[in-house]
Amino acid sequence: AFANELSVISDKVGIDVWELIELANHHPRVNILQPGPGVGGHCIAVDPWFIVAAAPEESKLIRQARETNDAKPSWVVDKVITSTQTPGFNGKVAVLGLAFKANIDDLRESPSIAIARSLAEKAPGVEFLLVEPHIESLPATLAGINNVKLVNTDAGLAEASTIVVLVDHDQFKAVPATALAGKDVIDTRGLWR
């Protein structure tokens, strides 16, 4: 939550959050985690709420941490919607990654799924090219949405003028800088700094 909050603050004041965290982590007693588009999975995104429910007055920090992380997908959606309103936008956004963490096919509680669905609903005139190399078909929550389709990495990068990185899969880390030339990149994982 601290890293995610730092990323929002850094964006607002024009600071590179990745550089900020890297510099802070040079201190021997500092280990700030990396920000992302939210927190997913079957335990970290859910279990803290059990603690909050059991002891609400004593778990204010845990509640705030979850609220901070739960708000991050909306922040990402706003960044992408802003990108679709810029000159040169070609009507297509590539959304890289649907899993809740890198190099797996597990979509449980993935913030990427919520982000993709919200984008499709908020921008019905935009085509969202979803790229998830670890699945073969869209999950039920995204299947059947007219402006969403599952494509491979190369197609997503080639067709879209806005590229959104939501998961730091190894396949995405290997994307050459030339594939991003002229694109508006929203990199929530710090892959292509």
Where are the domains positioned within the chain?
Answer: 72-187
Which segments in the chain show pLDDT lower than 70? none
pLDDT attached to residue 48: 86
The class level of CATH for 72-187 reads alpha beta
CA-CA distances (angstroms) from residue 68 to 5, 36, 136, 173?
7, 12, 32, 27
pLDDT attached to residue 187: 97
Instruction: Please tell me the distance from the alpha carbon of residue 113 to that of residue 107, in angstroms, as a whole number.
Output: 8
Mean pLDDT value across the chain: 95
Task: State pTM to two decimals.
Answer: 0.93
pLDDT attached to residue 17: 97
pLDDT attached to residue 75: 98
pLDDT attached to residue 13: 98
pLDDT attached to residue 91: 98
